[in-house]
């Protein structure tokens, strides 16, 4: 079956512009996560959606970052007024349920470059 | 402060030999541990996991060992194959928290 898909695969933007990154999770997966990986770093948790519950936004680095998940499926991560330190690979993952013991399936990521 | 640490950024192993990747953690609330493999330009793919109530889990050539008292886990790959060359991430989660805490990864190179 189809895995997690993300678009665009690459995005180059100028400092100060807004960007939107999209994630299509595996059909039927109720949990959706956003992570980012900066150069030479591990994956950093950003935000977590589980069903209809309020999202866990504890990992968002600043109020320039926001995310929404429409209809319990597709999610959009928005970065406003991008800065050079936002340059990273943004990864989306989904799992069949929330909680600590469910494997997460990752998309290929969106490489964001802020010039 | 890093809650999950992979202290070896890289590891080189000869084909057919054993690869041992190590991971340390600091949070005793973690109850589930996972290993992911990542190829360049791809997302991480799940490899193997272990619950904190176990000390070993085996799946084919891959075995994960957990030492709770030492807050240490390791991934053994035997025999290693050139296709195993990738970056390996250790991850942990705990309680009701769904997100994973990742280490910085270890780049494994398996030489023919």
List the beta strands (DSSP E) in chain B. Answer: 4-5, 10-14, 19-25, 32-38, 45-51, 56-59, 62-67, 72-77, 86-93, 101-102, 106-111
Span A55-108, pLDDT tens digits: 999 999 999 999 999 887 999 999 999 999 999 999 999 998 766 567 889 999
Q: Which of A13-17, A106-110, B29-33, B82-86 has the lowest mean pLDDT?
A: B29-33
Q: How many pairs of residues across A and B have Cβ atoms under 8 Å apart? A: 70
A38: closest chain B residue by CA: B104
CB A36 within 8 A of CB A97: no
CB B28 within 8 A of CB B71: yes
Task: Look at residue A72 in the predicted model and tell me its pLDDT.
Answer: 77
Residue A76 CB-density burial (10 A; 0-12 exposed, 13-18 middle, 19+ buried): middle
For A5, A27, A31, B77, B90, the CA distances from A71, given in Å and listed in that order, are 17, 12, 12, 41, 32
Q: How confident is the model at residue B96 (pLDDT cuts 50, 70, 90)?
A: low
Q: In what order do the strands lie in the sheet with B4-5?
A: B4-5, B19-25, B72-77, B62-67, B56-59
Residues 6 or more apart in contact with residue B76 via CB below 8 angstroms: B18, B19, B20, B62, B63, B64, B65
Asked if B97 and A50 come within 8 Å (Cβ–Cβ), the reply is: no
Asked if A108 and B43 come within 8 Å (Cβ–Cβ), the reply is: yes
Asked if B44 and A33 come within 8 Å (Cβ–Cβ), the reply is: no
Q: Which residues of B touch A100 (CB under 8 A)?
A: 31-32, 93-98
Q: How confident is the model at residue A17 (pLDDT cuts 50, 70, 90)?
A: very high
Segment B24-31 shows an average pLDDT of 92
**Percentage of residues in chain B having pLDDT higher than 90:** 85
Q: Which of A59-68, B16-25, B63-72, B97-106 has the lowest mean pLDDT?
A: B97-106
Segment B33-53 shows an average pLDDT of 93
Q: Is A51 helix (H, G, I), strand (E, B) or coil?
A: coil
Mutation target among B1, B43, B89 for the A interface, most CBs of A within 10 A: B43
Mutation target among A100, A101, A106, A107 for the B interface, most CBs of B within 10 A: A100
Q: Is B11 helix (H, G, I), strand (E, B) or coil?
A: strand
Q: Which residues of A touch B96 (CB under 8 A)?
A: 99-100
Q: How confident is the model at residue B24 (pLDDT cuts 50, 70, 90)?
A: very high
Span B55-71, pLDDT tens digits: 999 999 999 999 999 99
B104: closest chain A residue by CA: A42
Segment B16-44 shows an average pLDDT of 94
Does the pLDDT of residue A1 top 60, yes or no?
Answer: no
Nearest to A108 among B34, B42, B93 (CB): B42
Q: Is B28 helix (H, G, I), strand (E, B) or coil?
A: coil
Query: Distance (Å) from the C-alpha of residue B80 to the closest C-alpha of chain A?
Result: 24
């Amino acid at each position: 079956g189809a895995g997690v898909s993300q678009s665009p695969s690459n995005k180059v933007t100028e400092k100060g512009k807004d960007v939107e990154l999209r994630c299509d999770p595996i059909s039927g997966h109720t949990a959706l996560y956003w992570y980012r990986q900066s150069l030479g770093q591990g994956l950093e948790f950003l935000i977590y959606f589980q069903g209809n519950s309020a999202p866990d936004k504890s990992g968002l680095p600043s109020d320039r970052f926001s995310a929404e998940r429409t209809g319990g499926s597709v999610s959009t991560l928005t970065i406003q007024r991008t800065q050079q330190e936002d340059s990273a690979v943004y990864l989306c993952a989904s799992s069949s349920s929330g909680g600590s013991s469910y494997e997460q399936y990752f998309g290929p990521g969106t490489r964001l470059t802020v010039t | 402060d890093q809650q999950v640490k992979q202290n070896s950024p890289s590891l080189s192993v000869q084909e057919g030999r054993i690869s041992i990747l190590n991971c340390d953690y600091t949070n005793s609330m973690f109850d589930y541990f996972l290993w992911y493999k990542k190829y360049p330009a791809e997302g991480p793919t799940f490899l193997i996991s272990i619950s904190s109530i176990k000390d070993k889990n085996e799946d084919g050539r891959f075995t994960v060992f957990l030492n709770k008292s030492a807050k240490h886990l390791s991934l053994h790959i035997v025999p290693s194959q050139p296709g195993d060359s990738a970056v390996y991430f250790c991850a942990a989660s705990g309680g009701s928290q769904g997100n994973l805490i990742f280490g910085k990864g270890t780049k494994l190179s398996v030489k023919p």
